[in-house]
Chain A
Amino acid sequence: MTLHAITVLGHDRPGIIAETTDRLAGLGLNLEDSTMTLLRGHFAMTLICAGTASDDEIETALAPLAADGTLTVTVREVPAEEAPAPAGTSWILSVHGGDRPGIVSAVVKVIAGVGGNITDLTTRLAGELYLLVAEVDLPAGADSSAVERDLAAVAADLGVGVTLRAAETDEL
């Protein structure tokens, strides 16, 4: 049993997911985690599949998807990842403001600087408005107030707004 990371990128149209997953099922592959979205209208999907097929067999099976040149498919065997270390605290980071180069890099540098890990991230541009929303884990012992201050300073330089909210879970 091996794991394979598969990406499908390109021109969106109805039926891409149906066709991709049908071909993977035909190889007996099990879809484990996957995510798909539209990025500026482009179809973007990443899947991790488990099974006994080789990269070559998967590429061959998916080749018809890319035949008309509008989609790019990649397949690569990947190792099983260890479960991540327990998070210290979980946060939701939101940034929005006028679009300009360097917003993402400046903001995430603050998170990386304290050993924080981003576990989910979305950025969107609509007209002049730029938006970033991320799920952030800060290590135990990280000073979240200091992180907020540093983020506020970076945001002020960029002329954007930033908030860091605790990702609280209601246990029911």
Chain B
Amino acid sequence: MTTNPRVRDWTEAELGVPGALREVVRAPAPVLSARGSDVDPTDPAVVALAADLVATMRVSPGCVGLAAPQVGVGVKVFCVDVSEHPKTREHHGTFVLCNAEVVSGSRNEKAREGCMSVPDFTGDVKRPSRVVVRGQLPGTGEEVELEAEAFEARALQHEIDHCDGLLFLDRAAGAHAVYARKTYL
């Protein structure tokens, strides 16, 4: 796997605006179950949202990604940063993508997921452990395509799902694959 240097070198400093903290909404908020709208990645409001997502992710314990619907905004924008996570292999550090989609995926693996917007449950979800994702960088609007694997691949798919109005609950591996959460971060 090769990382995309443009995405890897991107930091929120490129946005040029400070991020503000936003409140994270929880299911059953309708915004979490609605397909997000496409955005213009050069729109100043989208750039501000991108900065806010990164800022909110940074202050949330254990948070490796945050999608716009999780802060109550029904659009296709999310941030990830898995660099500090022990299950991470190669990664792209912090980045934000707009209008992202999974182009291809392979090597399904099952893992138990938790989500800040569904604090009382965890669930087993099968997802490709290698993906190609395409999206646009906020601010410049450049289209980028990147390969991701392992934990970063899972995080990207989880956030893209949020932008499409899907929670991990929608992908539960079976009727007995959702569990009451026992430990909270």
Contact = CB atoms under 8 A, between A and B. Distances in A.
Contacts of B185: 171
Interface stretch (A60-68, A97-105, A162-170): A162-170
Nearest to A168: B112
A171 B62 contact: yes
B151 to A, nearest CB: 7
Contact of A172 (B159, B175, B179, B181): B159
Given A87-B183, A122-B176, A137-B182, A172 B155 contact: yes
Query: Chain A interface: which size bin?
Result: 10 to 19
Interface in B95-153: 111-116, 122, 151
B65 A167 contact: no
B13 to A, nearest CB: 25
A157 interface: no
Given A120-B176, A122-B176, A172 B182 contact: no
A90 to B, nearest CB: 5
Nearest to B64: A172
Contacts, number: 52
Contact of B112 (A35, A87, A137, A167): A167
Contacts of B113: 169-172
Interface of B: 62-65, 87, 111-116, 122, 151, 154-155, 158-159, 168, 175-176, 179-183, 185
28 contacts: A35-B176, A37-B176, A86-B183, A87-B183, A90-B183, A119-B179, A119-B182, A122-B176, A135-B179, A167-B112, A167-B179, A168-B112, A169-B113, A169-B114, A170-B111, A170-B112, A170-B114, A170-B154, A171-B62, A171-B63, A171-B114, A171-B115, A171-B185, A172-B64, A172-B65, A172-B113, A172-B154, A172-B158
